[in-house]
Structure 1
Amino acid sequence: MDKKEDNNNRKKVSFNLNWLYTLLALFLVGWFFFMSGGLNNGAKQIKEAQFFEYARDGYVQKFTLNKDEEKVLVYLTSEALEKPEFKGLKQTPGFLGESPNMHFTVGDRTLFLQKFDQLPEETKAEVSMSIEENNPWVNVIVQILIWILLIGLLWTFIFRRMGAGGGGPGGQIFNIGKSKAKLYDQNEKVKVSFKDVAGLEGAKEEVEEIVEFLKNPEKFTRLGGKIPKGALLIGSPGTGKTLLAKAVAGEAEVPFFSLSGSDFVEMFVGVGASRVRDLFKKAKEKSPSIIFIDEIDAIGRARGKNAMMNSNDERENTLNQLLTEMDGFGTNTNVIVLAATNRADILDKALMRAGRFDRRIYVDLPELHERKQIFKVHTKDLKIKEELDLEFLAKQTPGFSGADIANICNEAALIAARKNKEYIDRQDFLDAVDRIIGGLEKRGKIIKSSEKKRIAYHEAGHATVSWLLEHASPLVKVTIVPRGRSLGAAWYLPEERQITTEEQLLDEMSALLGGRAAEEVMFGNYSTGAQNDLERAFKQSMAMVTIYGLSDKIGHVSYYDSSGQSDYSFNKPYSEQTAEKIDDEIKRIIDEQYQRCIKLLSDNKDKLTQLAEILLEKEVIFRDDLEKIFGKREFSNAQDPFEETKSEKVIYEEVAQEKKEEE
């Protein structure tokens, strides 16, 4: 078994016909030029007087006089070719026979023959003469055949290239309508199983049941039930939709066809529908089977929404064929269709109805305990010095997807390798989180002292406001070391909640405006450094007014269209008078929270100054530093993200102490 797998994994050397075509083309081109006058290639051109001189000296073996072209081809003796005088004229026999060594053109054939007759008899006896007559039909037929071969070769090569995008064996033009799905069966198995999928418990249960349908259908059909025809995986990018499909392919033990939505789309009209037909034909032949279409929104977009496209849109034809195959006349119920998308709002309603995709499986961002499981999966193959506190890492990464966590583990390994470590430690993981969130540190970036002071007060303003407000996210770390495109950064640990109240939204907005307010309190003017903060505050206040209905002046109204229909509309869902009210409400909310920040920072100006001075001195401050200045947070429901875990400052100081001891 091992030997068989080794042979399968061994890299197969495939013969590329393009090289054969290239060599054949070069041969035909060379032959063409050789036939069309190339017989004289390499032959030396001489004058008529030189010919007679060489003939008298006994150097000429024979000559050929062309009856139609007044051209004489001269062949020298083997002894003459050995002389230095004729160096380079020695030629090997060609494809059409021996080639001449010299040639010249005569002005008058009769006069030339008279001169040859005047040579001594001994010389004429040694030189043989022949007169050739051209056959024009032979040359025409040969040239026609050569051109036919060249054009045929070019035709084959071009259409092999065009057919390469059409799938099928050999990629021929006639296979362009064939499906490009990759088949996984008993000969080529996927090694991913449900054990490799951490978290996603609800979604995993759903797809596990689909596998059970195929393995033991009698269990579900004995009571009259029917096996679902399709399941749609919906979730944000990186949450594990494709990983779940891989696990299904590894666990199902039935033929599994995998392809992307873009594989149906081609420049030729009708190809997409043809590929859909071919895909379902193959799946039915191997039923029970599973078809997985990743990024189905490439062909499943709602029909008739784009006025610029005509009714014969290729994507719409492909979607129509897919709808027919999934639930039409003669549909085979032993084929289950899995699909994945992160844009379910733009899919066609006919595609989403029961009978096609009976189940919608939502793959959400992992929660705290799920992130811990994902860290456990991705760290099992890493060389770690001691047991990691996965709970601490999970708390450090709220809102991270499974792909983000995998990236953190990989970055931690790269950071440790860059430092020439033998093992990966906790600080490497924290550095990886910082790098992914904020970007690479730029300690070599030159910043003026005045600018550095303003940056310190700006970041200290964020930290102060977030510490003093009940619902603001608790601080993790603040730094004024440039990272990525920012000159300073603050890390917060947002509370994981399913719904958000108006008070929580306003406190978070105030924390965003704390940096700009600190600049006004300390310097009396503003800088451009708050651009990102202002942008986020504006979007949040706009959502409060137009989406969540949290404005008394506008009322309990939401102008958000979750169906995506408004994307194709040229009209706003409200009048110009309402638009003015919305603008006024957005400005009122932002101004109120800004004045709230000004009051908070003015009342705590001495503590703000103290925090900024520590930040200027250390460049990095942590939650513990804020506790020394402001005391513990007084709110009873304030979240403590570091409960029963070491804080990042303790880890940071331990690593710094280890570096000092090593030095």
Structure 2
Amino acid sequence: MSKDNSNNAPNKKPKFSPYWLYAAIILVIISLNFFGSSNKWQDIKPTTSSKFDEFLDDGDIKDVLVINQRKAKVTLTEEALKKDIHKGAESTNLLGQKNTKGPHYQFEIGSEDIFQEKLDKAKAEGKLESYAYDTEQNFWGDMLISLLPFALIIGVWIFLMRRMSGGAGGGAGGQIFNIGKSRAKLFDEKQDVKVTFKDVAGLEGAKEEVQEIVDFLKTPDKYTSLGGKIPKGALLVGPPGTGKTLLAKAVAGEAKVPFFSLSGSDFVEMFVGVGASRVRDLFKQAKEKSPAIIFIDEIDAVGRARGKSNFTGSNDERENTLNQLLTEMDGFGSKTNVIVLAATNRADVLDKALMRAGRFDRQIYVDLPDVRERKEIFEVHLRPLKISEGLDMDFLSKQTPGFSGADIANVCNEAALIAARNNKKAVDKQDFLDAVDRIVGGLEKKNKIITPLEKKTIAYHEAGHATVSWMLEHAAPLVKVTIVPRGQSLGAAWYLPEERLLVRPDQMLDEMCATLGGRAAEKVIFDKISTGALSDLEKVTRQAKAMVTVYGLNDKIGNLTYYDSSGQADYNFTKPYSEETAQIIDKEISAIIEEQYQRAIDLLTNHKDKLTELADVLLEREVIFKDDLQEIFGKRPFAKDVKEDEEEQAQNEAITNNDA
């Protein structure tokens, strides 16, 4: 038992620190400087030049020793030591022994020539037995002074190298000689990683793919018995904020194997060959602990296509790092159970050799969540919040189209902050709506100075958007309209766009017409236009250009597309079409926009009275909602709106019955 206890007892020996060595060196230098002096009598009594003259006139001085032509050490006669004026003149050594033989005084001399004449005169008169000159050297002190600049330069260099190589810690990459070591952080069964697949809402397809990788490492026989091979890598691709890194954290929490996590930028260094060295060290550590998983976040930092934008002709360090990564993932010595997970939102710039099967066997696209997945994400992020009773998750998910998981987390946090600012005990529906407005539109600027004419123009502009979108079948349904300035905008109309996988030309044209409704309203009411439609013009120009050059929805251009999904077009200096085609494209884009602009003018001219009524209500309230438009225009007759109204009415009846 005692033997086992001794083996299991923690090692209480102090760890060696390099600062101990530095302190020992400094102590040795100080000791040599202190004890290495040629003068073993340390506390010689100081005096002044004037008192020395008095001692010399009284005949009290036996001899004088001039050191280095600047300090005089004076030895008294035996008779002088008996005088009261020289009491305590005997110096002592380091052991406390008194020195009666001298020297007894010391002082700094002034002019060497005058002092020499004074000594010669005193010796000639018999007041001084002798004097001499001597040179003392402190070997260790002189060496310390000569070596100090070099030591300072070396110390600064080591400090800078330690900072650039990952800090002053003692871990891998912390010391200058470990700069080629991997910076990957290791998670294993000893590490408490609390994120699991239960914390990842939505992403059903991506979770299934990643869970299978984890399951393979846990029970490989289940797959190898049928002849299957372990996948070497999986690439997570998707827009920012969709949960790629969160999915990797869940893998680290679920997998019972070592998990190495690092970023693509961790391979980048100013020294040649460091990136490739870190890749080798990373895979060496993973192979030693195999089966293992390596996660490289933002792999586009080192995985960009080789040969692009390398105009210098030099050997790029990043390419060396990528070459080493390619070799480690699928080379002659890569038959190990090490799986590489990587994440990026720039898959178009990655090298083709990195994307091929055998390296990244699976490319998992992590898309923006749909309405059902957004509801699940809300349920996850609302767990720590104190929410009001009866908060409708379906309503929140429908109010946030196009939001990523990170955006939804931000909405929940902003809603909690807004509720706390208003001294509420729980977060309610209005707080979430305000949070969405805050994130999408920006901070509300209540103190912005707007003239009455500008405010009226803004009101008619936003009313024009609302009117045209209400009259068109395929325009996005309106949620609310406001003329309160937010962020860079003076007013805004909030819509709830339909989540479509395919878009037809009539749907795109209706959206463009609704977008131009603001400028059209200014033209109809004031017969003047303003600069307030900049963002609208930018949006419709982008849509019209996509119709003509990307989707092949124009009759004159035909079924052609000039879109390059490989990303090579970014490095070309020529357009993929002739000048004649460019002129046709410009004319067709302009024709599409002008046609929809005229269509919006005609719609607003026919409903000018309702446009004016809506603008007056907007000027009075500053914010109007869908119900206000229904009072002015009546219900929309389109089939999808009738269906939505029926569903909403059924929900309200169900809530009423439950309350009863």
Q: Comparing 356-365 with 408-417, which one deviates more in the overlay?
A: 408-417
Please say if 1:306 is aligned against 2:309.
yes
In the comparison of the two structures, how many residue pairs are matched?
A: 609
Q: 1:592 maps to which residue?
A: 595
C-alpha contact (below 8 Å) 2:267/2:321 kept by paired residues: yes
Question: 1:106: how far off?
Answer: 4.0
Secondary structure in 2 aligned to 1:187?
A: coil
Q: Does 1:555 align with 2:589?
A: no
Unaligned runs of 5+ in 1: 1-12, 37-42, 83-91, 648-663
Instruction: State the distance in 1 between where 2:327 and 2:345 align.
Output: 24
Q: Which residue of 1 aligns with 2:66?
A: 66
Correspondences of 1:352-431 after superposition (within 5 Å): 352-431=355-434
8 Å Cα contact 2:48-2:108 kept in structure 1: no
Per-residue CA distance 1:42-93 (angstroms, 9 max, x = gap): x9999744532377799x999963255153257999x9999xxxxxxxxx99
User: What is the aligned counterpart of 1:177 among 180, 187, 212?
Assistant: 180
CA contact (8 A) 2:47 2:107 kept: no
Tell me if 1:203 matches 2:234: no
Match of 2:492 in 1: 489
- Taking structure 1 as reference, are residues 61 and 396 closer, same or farther at Cα in structure 2, changes over 3 Å only? farther
1:244-323 alignment runs, 5 A limit: 244-310=247-313, 312-323=315-326
**Letter paired with 1:133:** D
Letter in 2 for 1:294: D
Paired amino acid for 2:69: E
| Residues 528/18 of structure 1: CA separation in 2 closer, same or farther (3 Å cut) | farther
Is residue 230–residue 336 contact of structure 1 (8 Å, CA) maintained in 2?
A: yes
Asked if 2 retains the 8 angstrom alpha-carbon contact of 1:395 and 1:641, the reply is: no
Conserved in 1, the CA contact under 8 Å of 2:109 and 2:115? no
Q: 1:71, 1:105 within 8 Å by CA — same for their partners in 2?
A: no
Q: How far does residue 478 in structure 1 lie from its aligned partner after superposition? A: 0.5
Offset of 1:645 from its aligned partner?
Answer: 5.9
* Alpha-carbon contact 1:71-1:106 (below 8 Å) kept: no
Q: What's the offset of the Cα at 1:611?
A: 0.2
Partner of residue 335, structure 1: 338
- Corresponding letter in the other structure for 1:147: S
Greater CA drift, 26-35 or 522-531: 26-35
**CA deviation map 1:546-571 (0-9, x unaligned):** 00000001100000000111111111
Distance in 2 of aligned mates of 1:146 and 1:644: 89
Separation in structure 2 between the aligned mates of residue 572 and residue 462 of structure 1, nearest angstrom:
36
Residue 144 of structure 1: CA displacement?
2.9
Query: Are 2:119 and 1:113 equivalent residues in the alignment?
Result: yes
Query: 1:385 Cα shift?
Result: 3.0
Q: 1:343 to 1:465 in 2, by over 3 A?
A: same
Q: Distance in 2 between matches of 1:193 and 1:365?
A: 20
Instruction: Assess, with a 3 A threshold, how the Cα gap between structure 1 residues 57 and 30 changes in structure 2: closer, same or farther.
Output: farther
Does structure 2 retain, via aligned residues, the 8 Å contact 1:70–1:109?
Answer: no
Counterpart of 1:287 in structure 2: which amino acid? S
CA contact (8 A) 1:546 1:560 kept: yes
Return the offset for 1:579. 0.1
Question: Larger deviation: 316-325 or 152-161?
Answer: 152-161
The letter for the 2-side match of 1:380 is: R
Moved more, 411-420 or 252-261: 411-420
Tell whether the 8 Å contact from 1:227 to 1:333 is kept in structure 2 after alignment.
Answer: no
Distance 1:448 1:209 in 2: 62
Question: What does the per-residue CA deviation read over 1:512-536, in whole Å, with 9 as the maximum and x for residues that have no partner?
Answer: 1000000000000101000000011
Q: Which residue of 2 aligns with 1:464?
A: 467
| Structure 2 residue matching 1:179: 3-state secondary structure | coil
Distance 1:641 1:441, change over 3 A: farther
Q: 2:639 is paired with a residue of what secondary structure?
A: coil
Match of 1:655 in 2: none
Change (3 A) 1:19 1:596: farther
Whether the 8 Å contact between 1:72 and 1:103 is mirrored in structure 2 is yes
Q: How does 1:441-590 map to 2 (within 5 A)?
A: 441-590=444-593
- d(CA) in 1 for partners of 2:338, 2:499: 40
1:446 deviates by: 1.5
The 2-side partners of 1:242 and 1:98 are apart by 79
**Residue identity matched to 2:135:** N
Moved over 4 A (4+): 13-36, 43-47, 54-58, 60-64, 73-77, 79-82, 97-103, 114-121, 129-132, 639-647
CA contact (8 A) 2:378 2:393 kept: yes
Match of 1:143 in 2: 142
Contact in 2 for aligned 1:283/1:289 (Cα 8 Å): yes
Aligned residues of 1:242 and 1:294 also touching (Cα < 8 A) = yes
Q: Distance in 1 between matches of 2:437 and 2:517?
A: 22
Alpha-carbon distance in 1 for matches of 2:161, 2:23: 17
Question: In structure 1, what residue type is equivalent to 2:353?
Answer: A
From 233, 244, 247, give the equivalent of 2:236: 233
1:479-516 CA deviation, whole Å, 9 max, x = no partner? Answer: 00010111101110000111111011001101110000
SS in 2 for 1:447: coil
SS of 1:107's partner is helix
Question: Is 1:631 the equivalent of 2:634?
Answer: yes
- In 1, the alpha carbon distance for the partners of 2:415 and 2:498 equals 25
Is the 8 Å Cα contact of residues 480 and 493 (structure 2) preserved in structure 1? Answer: yes
Question: Which residue of structure 2 lines up, in the alignment, with residue 166 of structure 1?
Answer: 165
Change (3 A) 1:470 1:33: farther
| Segment drifting more, 247-256 vs 158-167 | 158-167
What does 1:610-629 correspond to in 2, within 5 Å? 610-629=613-632
Aligned residue for 1:171, secondary structure, equals coil
Aligned to 2:305, what secondary structure does the other structure show? coil
Instruction: Read off the aligned partner of 1:161 and give its amino acid letter.
Output: L
8 Å CA contact retained: 1:163, 1:175? no
CA distance in 1, matches of 2:639, 2:74: 112
Judge conservation of contact 1:166–1:173 (CA < 8 Å) in 2: yes
TM-score by length of 1: 0.84
Counterpart code for 2:511: E
User: Per-residue CA shift, 1:97-128, capped at 9, x if unaligned?
Assistant: 9996655444255543356569999xx99xxx
Residues 166 and 178, structure 1, Cα contact 8 Å, conserved in 2:
no
The percent identity for this pair of structures is: 64
Q: Which amino acid in 1 is paired with 2:196?
A: S
